[in-house]
């Protein structure tokens, strides 16, 4: 097998045409000095128009921070220490705040993890929609078209417009609020929507519904979807392309087929796959991953996953493994890449 060191060139070639979102060698830090942590470290990835792109990893791996960085909204004390994010080729960090605000919502929008609390509790959903439409007359010159479009979105997320329009947040169930949040995020017709853990706080039936709805929105609106999850089962069902993070670093990235079908797989990803409950094969037993994600302020030497890795060898505790590509499939593991003949691109 021949592989290449996944420098920026290799990563940018990971899709077919011009990426809609590019993350270029991004490092996001919290704090400064000895106590500072790098929640995202030297991450590069390219999202193509039409992708359903999953950012995967356990809690604390840096997925949400990366998702926020995609919209340049990392909350302080977080800051971009290195690298940049580009939307349609434009570096977000170089935009004036006014221009960035314009981009957010209109071109790229976000459904937050705590979507359940994303509403103003004292005004109806309909009034909140009116406020958004008034603030952005450039999208619908006639607000009646905006209202009609929101009703269409509610139908796509399988909610009754007549009920939702006049409802207060407190009158909606958790699953309904999640779907209203998705409809609101799409109101200004963005080309990309980023969703932080869209299925996590939901019961199994609502999770199923949200997966079906996201597929439908992708198909019918042509919107590019980037979503954060710790659940590889959701990835298998929904994503076209996947990036797996561990302790702030990208450890594997590829198409969903490469991640699930290729025998060349990062031991961490293997462990995540093993943690998916299988009714047929294991009688609903899961094999949890032993140990914990390391404290970012006190990382082990070498590969960050080595202390938990069943395949770890001496080299794994000595040097951080490079991210190597076999075609477009990137893996950062000394052991898995042992037979990969590395060439420079």
Ligand X SMILES: Nc1ncnc2c1ncn2[C@@H]1O[C@H](COP(=O)(O)OP(=O)(O)OP(=O)(O)O)[C@@H](O)[C@H]1O
Residues that bind ligand X (CB under 6 A): 30, 37, 39, 57, 59-65, 75, 77, 296
Q: Which is nearer to ligand X, 129 or 247 (CB)?
A: 247
Q: Which is nearer to ligand X, 11 or 296 (CB)?
A: 296
Backbone angles phi, psi at 268, to 5 degrees: -65, -40
DSSP state for residue 244 in the 8-state scheme: E
Q: Which is nearer to ligand X, 21 or 154 (CB)?
A: 21
Query: Shortest gap between Cβ of 293 and ligand X (angstroms)?
Result: 8
Ramachandran sector of residue 81 (left: φ over 0; alpha: ψ -120 to 50; beta: rest):
alpha
The set of residues, in sequence order, having a beta carbon less than 8 Å from that of 202 and lying 6+ positions away, is 174, 175, 178, 210
Backbone angles phi, psi at 178, to 5 degrees: -60, -40
Half-sphere exposure of 246 (CA within 13 A, CB side): 29
Q: How far apart are the first and last CA of the chain?
A: 15
The set of residues, in sequence order, having a beta carbon less than 8 Å from that of 221 and lying 6+ positions away, is 156, 186, 189
Q: Which is nearer to ligand X, 106 or 275 (CB)?
A: 275
Provide the 3-class DSSP secondary structure of residue 58: coil
The set of residues, in sequence order, having a beta carbon less than 8 Å from that of 314 and lying 6+ positions away, is none
Q: Which is nearer to ligand X, 154 or 272 (CB)?
A: 272
Q: Which is nearer to ligand X, 92 or 172 (CB)?
A: 92
Query: Shortest gap between Cβ of 135 and ligand X (angstroms)?
Result: 28
Q: Which is nearer to ligand X, 39 or 164 (CB)?
A: 39
Long-range CB pairs of 302-306, under 8 A, 24+ apart, other chains included: 303/332, 303/333, 303/334, 304/246, 304/247, 304/248, 304/249, 305/246, 305/247, 305/251, 305/266, 305/267, 305/268
């Amino acid at each position: 097998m021949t592989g290449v060191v996944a420098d920026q060139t290799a990563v940018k070639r990971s899709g077919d045409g011009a990426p809609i979102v590019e993350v270029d060698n991004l490092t996001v830090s919290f704090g400064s000095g000895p106590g500072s942590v790098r929640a995202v470290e030297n991450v590069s990835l390219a999202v193509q128009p039409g992708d359903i792109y999953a950012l995967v990893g356990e809690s604390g791996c840096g997925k949400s921070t990366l998702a926020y960085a995609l919209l340049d909204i990392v909350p302080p004390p977080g800051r971009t220490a290195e690298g940049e994010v580009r939307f349609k080729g434009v570096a977000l960090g170089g935009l004036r705040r006014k221009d960035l605000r314009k981009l957010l919502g209109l071109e790229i929008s976000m459904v937050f993890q705590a979507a359940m609390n994303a509403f103003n509790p004292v005004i109806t959903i309909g009034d909140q929609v009116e406020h958004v439409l008034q603030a952005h007359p450039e999208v619908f010159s006639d607000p009646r078209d905006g209202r009609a479009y929101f009703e269409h979105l509610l139908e796509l997320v399988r909610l009754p417009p007549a009920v939702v329009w006049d409802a207060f947040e407190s009158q909606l169930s958790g699953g309904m609020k999640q779907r209203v949040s998705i409809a609101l995020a799409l109101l200004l017709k963005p080309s990309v929507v980023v969703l932080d853990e869209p299925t996590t706080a939901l019961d199994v039936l609502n999770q199923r519904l949200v997966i079906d709805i996201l597929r439908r929105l992708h198909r019918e609106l042509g919107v590019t979807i980037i979503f954060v999850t710790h659940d590889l089962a959701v990835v298998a069902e929904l994503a076209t392309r996947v990036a797996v993070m561990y302790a702030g670093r990208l450890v594997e990235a590829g198409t969903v087929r490469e991640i699930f079908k290729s025998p060349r797989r990062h031991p961490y990803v293997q462990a995540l796959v093993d943690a998916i409950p299988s009714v047929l094969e294991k009688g609903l037993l899961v094999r949890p991953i032993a140990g914990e994600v390391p404290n970012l302020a006190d990382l082990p030497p070498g590969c960050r996953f080595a202390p938990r890795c069943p395949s770890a060898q001496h080299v794994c505790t000595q040097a951080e493994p490079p991210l190597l590509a076999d075609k477009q499939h990137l893996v950062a593991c000394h052991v898995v890449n042992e037979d990969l003949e590395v060439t420079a691109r």
